Amino acid sequence: MSYVDEIYAKVVEQNPGEPEFHQAVKEVLDSLKLVIDANEEKYRKAGVLERFVEPERIISFRVPWVDDKGNIQVNKGYRVQFNSAIGPYKGGLRLHPSVNQSILKFLGFEQVLKNSLTGLPMGGGKGGSNFDPKGKSDREVMAFCQSFMTELYRHIGKDTDVPAGDIGVGAREVGFLFGQYKRLTGLYEGVLTGKGLTFGGSLVRTQATGYGLIYILDEMLKKNGKELAGKTVVVSGSGNVAIYAVEKAQQLGAKVVALSDSNGYIYDKDGIKLDVVKEIKEVRRGRIKEYVDAVPTAVYTEGKGIWTIPCDIALPCATQNELNLEDAKTLLANGCFAVAEGANMPSTREATDLFVEKKILFMPGKAANAGGVATSGLEQSQNSLRLSWSFEEVDEKLHDIMVGIFAKAADAAERYGVPGNYVAGANIAGFEKVVDAMIAQGVV
Ligand code: NDP
Ligand code: 2IT
């Protein structure tokens, strides 16, 4: 058996009940075959893959808190510190009832390669809890965040591990988490990113993942003789990533006709009115179906099905495995020619394989959504410098980083004989830097 296949078999055997983690590892290892098979002895001798697929550390803890009725609630809390070869652990915190160790390991593993692609000195990690912020009062969210940080603070720090937001964690939660970290440690430091602008946050961080997604999409289209202006776009989700992807896509002349949440999706043939969406989602924390109250010409449909809407470009920006083989076939049948993933691993393996086989323009999440963590890296730089850069300055750096990621993925794909396969390209380019640092640092 090849080294790569041996390692995958071990991952499945030694990590039972973790399907998302297996899925993420398999996709990456399949790409890495192109690299590893050519130099199998070198990598085997260094035990590189055994170490690459095993998190350096997983912290798992109890999060007790008191709800508004005076009842005691207990959630599970985690931090997966996956790989610190190229920098301190860096990656978001997810608060969603579905959170478990498998999901956080897949996210931490992806983060290692994503952060490498940004070119910034950041290792990979991820954390979170099965706490459900939906329907909770501000006080309940604060109580949860303070309890979560009361354990987490001893494992993180500006030079060890720097968490940020992800699903269910935005400015409000990061504020509560930062306040409790400062109170417990007495340190005012850049230990979290995505902070408010009055206490060390960076301009553009809120917009960064969505903007970055459109910057790399735009670059991919241009390099393949196409353009975004005038194209019809479908975006899934209606959270942080989706909203700012829509904003930048519209600025560049695209027409976005659909958005969704976990209950259903809206279709607005005249183009989504983003101010309405922001009011519903960012101000009222409401549901996407409320859009049709403000825009009666739009249509709301309960349930899944957003990928049946005909489009030129699809941007899945909600969650993992939200776009399956059937969805991929429907998109292709309707003429969709480009997909860029705002979410982490939103396409199933079968869907990804079909996109690659049909040679549509497909940019995988670890490259396409890296703008968020890249701007987090820029927030860390500003915190260390004790300076704040202007919106334009950060936006320009973000744009350059996304163009750079496209170039790295395209170049690696070329070098290994699979031009235009940005899945293989992103996996290989991300891996090359991490593996070089791991080998140089010895057996640690
Ligand atoms: P938000 O919490 O702001 O929004 C999440 C959106 O996805 C909501 O519309 C939510 O709907 C929907 N969603 C979440 N879970 C599910 C589910 N199980 N089924 C259907 N819909 C779901 O999160 P973000 O926008 O920050 O994150 C979206 C994706 O982007 C995630 O995959 C995240 O990992 C990834 N990402 C985020 C980055 C960031 O900087 N925030 C950076 C890079 C990647 P509902 O409200 O109904 O739950
Ligand atoms: O998946 C991701 O890259 C994020 N949720 C952002 C992580 C970060 O540290 O900004």
pLDDT tens-digit series, residues 80-111: 999 999 999 999 999 999 999 999 999 999 99
Measure 164 CA to ligand 2 centroid, in angstroms: 6
**What share of the chain has pLDDT > 70, as a percent?**
100
Q: Hey, what are 177's tokens?
A: 């988490």
For residue 168, how many other CB atoms are within 10 A of its CB? 21
Q: How far is the CA of 318 from the centre of ligand 1 (A)?
A: 4
22-45 per-position pLDDT tens digit: 999 999 999 999 999 989 999 999
Gap between the Cα atoms of 169 and 127, Å rounded: 11
126 SS3 class: strand
Query: Tokens representing 403?
Result: 């163009």
Which ligand 2 atom is the nearest neighbour of the CA of 375?
A: 10
Q: How many helices (H) and strands (E) does the chain have?
A: 17, 12
Residue nearest to atom 3 of ligand 2 (CA): 373
Which are the contacts of 176, defined by CB distance < 8 A and separation ≥ 6? 141, 142, 145, 146, 149
pLDDT at 323 (0 to 100): 98
DSSP string, 143-165: HHHHHHHHHHGGG-BTTTEEEE-
**Ligand 2, residues at Cβ distance < 6 Å:** 90-92, 111, 114, 164, 166, 193, 344, 372-373, 376
| Residue 210 in contact with ligand 1 by CB distance below 6 A | no
Q: How high is the pLDDT of residue 349? A: 98
Question: Which entry of 114, 126, 195, 231 is annotated as an active-site residue?
Answer: 126
Interhelix angle for 391-415 vs 422-440, to 10°? 100
Q: Is 163 in the pocket of ligand 1 (CB under 6 A)?
A: no
* Residue 387, H or E segment: none
The closest-lying atom of ligand 1 relative to the alpha carbon of residue 260 is 9
What pLDDT is recorded for position 128?
98
From residue 386, alpha-carbon distances to 181, 225, 382, 383, 437 in Å are 19, 42, 6, 5, 29
Q: Using a 6 Å cutoff on CB, does residue 379 contact ligand 1?
A: no
| 75/215 Cα distance (integer angstroms) | 38
89 has which bridge partners? 161
| pLDDT tens digits along 176-228 | 999 999 999 999 999 999 999 999 999 999 999 999 999 999 999 999 999 99
Instruction: Answer yes or no: is the C-beta of 306 below 6 A from any ligand 1 atom.
Output: no
pLDDT value of residue 218: 98
Beta-carbon contacts of residue 290 (< 8 Å; ≥ 6 apart) = 280, 284
CA 221 to each of CA 75, 231, 233, 286, 324: distance values in angstroms, whole numbers, following the listed order: 44, 11, 13, 34, 23
Predicted confidence band at 386 (pLDDT cuts at 50, 70, 90)?
very high
Residue whose CA lies nearest to ligand 1 atom number 36: 343
Of the listed ligands, the closest to the CA of 162 is 2
Q: If you average pLDDT over every residue of the chain, what do you get?
A: 98
d(CA 240, CA 149): 23
Whether 42 sits among the annotated catalytic residues: the reply is no
Of ligand 2's listed atoms, the one at least distance from the Cα of 114 is 3
To test ligand 2's pocket by mutation, which of 80, 93, 111 has the most ligand atoms within 8 angstroms of CB? 111
CB of 341 closer than 8 Å to CB of 316: yes
Choose one of 79, 96, 166 to mutate for the ligand 2 pocket test, by most ligand atoms within 8 angstroms of C-beta.
166
Q: What average pLDDT does the segment 410-420 reach?
A: 98
Strands 255-260 and 299-302: unpaired
For residue 151, the model assigns a pLDDT of 98
Looking at residue 397, what is its pLDDT?
99
**E-only strand ranges, 101-201:** 124-129, 161-164
pLDDT confidence of residue 105: 99
Instruction: Give dist(CA 152, CA 203) in Å, integer.
Output: 26
* pLDDT score for 181: 99
Distance 42 CA to ligand 2 centre (A): 32
Cβ–Cβ under 8 Å, residues 394 and 193? no
Q: Are the C-beta atoms of 384 and 190 separated by less than 8 Å?
A: yes
Q: Supply the DSSP string of 208-269, one letter for each residue.
A: HHHHHHHHHHHHHHHHTT--STT-EEEEE--SHHHHHHHHHHHHTT-EEEEEE-SSEEEE-T
**What number of residues does the chain have?**
444
For residue 107, what pLDDT is reported? 99
Share of the chain above pLDDT 90, in %: 99
Tell me: the pLDDT tens digits for 303-323? 999 999 999 999 999 999 999
Nearest to 344 by CA among 117, 122, 112, 110: 110
* Angstrom distance (rounded) from CA 234 to CA 232: 7
What ligand 2 atom has the least distance to the C-alpha of 166? 5
Longest dimension (CA), the chain: 64
Question: Cα of 1 to ligand 2 centre, how many Å?
Answer: 35
Ligand 1: residue whose CA is nearest its atom 5: 239
Is the minimum distance from the CB of 370 to ligand 1 under 6 angstroms?
A: no
Cite the DSSP H helix spans in 263-359.
274-278, 291-294, 325-333, 349-357
According to the model, what pLDDT value does residue 103 have? 98
- pLDDT for residue 221: 98
The token duo for 420 is 């235009």
Residues 46-81 pLDDT 10s: 999 999 999 999 999 999 999 999 999 999 999 999
Where do we find the tokens 């030079």?
Answer: 159
Ligand 2 centroid from CA 371, angstroms? 9
Residues 352 and 289: their CA atoms lie apart, in Å, by 29
CA proximity to 156, closest of 403, 380, 385: 380
Q: Give me 116's structure tokens.
A: 């490498």
Which ligand is in closest contact with the Cα of 342? 1
Atom of ligand 1 minimally distant from the CA of 342 = 30
pLDDT tens-digit series, residues 256-292: 999 999 999 999 999 999 999 999 999 999 999 999 9
What is the CB neighbour count within 10 angstroms for residue 74? 11
Residue nearest to atom 27 of ligand 1 (CA): 167
Cα-to-centroid distance, 102 and ligand 2 (Å): 17
pLDDT (average), residues 374-382: 98
Residue nearest to atom 10 of ligand 2 (CA): 373
The packing angle between helices 19-36 and 422-440, to 10°, is 80
Integer angstrom CA distances of residue 30 from 35, 37, 319, 415: 10, 11, 22, 16
